[in-house]
């Protein structure tokens, strides 16, 4: 961990599937999560992420993706044999996007998101399931 990184944000051993079509956001979040000890598999589209679910502890997905969106991915995740929590990130407020507000994501966070606060949220969700 780097100096100034909150100890509470540690993600050691957590396997994250990160689905984000914006390169800068995906790369920044993946770098932060890896610095905190997580294993990160990333994808730029929902269909691409399907092949990464087998070993995931949690899925972090952008809501608006090219092709199928985050709600489609959430539906696919619910079809796997074991439950995997899914957090949605969106540039839209829930009041602006009815599909987002109705979808049963474990958390819905508005972009831009603080990566350290997001790491804390991931840790809380995963630990609640372990």
1 lies in some domain: no
6 lies in some domain: no
pLDDT in tens, 21-68: 999 999 999 999 999 999 999 999 999 999 999 989 999 999 999 999
The residue assigned the tokens 């809380």 is 124
The count of structural domains within the chain is 1
The share of the chain scoring above pLDDT 90, in percent, equals 76
The model's pTM is 0.89
Domain that holds residue 44: 11-129
73 lies in some domain: yes
Residue 22 sits in a domain of what CATH number? 3.40.50.2300
What per-residue confidence (pLDDT) applies to 1?
42
Q: How far apart are CA 55 and CA 84, in angstroms?
A: 10
Indicate the pLDDT class of residue 94, thresholds 50, 70 and 90.
confident
Statement: residue 100 has pLDDT above 70: yes
């Amino acid at each position: 961990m780097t100096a100034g990184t909150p100890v509470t944000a540690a993600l050691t051993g957590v396997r994250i599937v990160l689905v984000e079509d914006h390169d800068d956001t995906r790369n920044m979040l993946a770098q932060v999560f890896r610095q905190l000890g997580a294993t990160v598999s990333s994808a730029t589209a929902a269909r691409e992420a399907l092949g990464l679910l087998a070993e995931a502890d949690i899925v972090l997905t952008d809501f608006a993706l090219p092709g199928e969106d985050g709600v489609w991915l959430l539906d696919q995740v619910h079809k796997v044999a074991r439950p995997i929590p899914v957090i949605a990130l969106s540039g839209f407020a829930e009041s602006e996007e009815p599909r987002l507000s109705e979808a049963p994501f474990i958390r819905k966070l508005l972009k831009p998101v603080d990566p350290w606060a997001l790491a804390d949220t991931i840790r809380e969700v995963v630990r609640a399931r372990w």
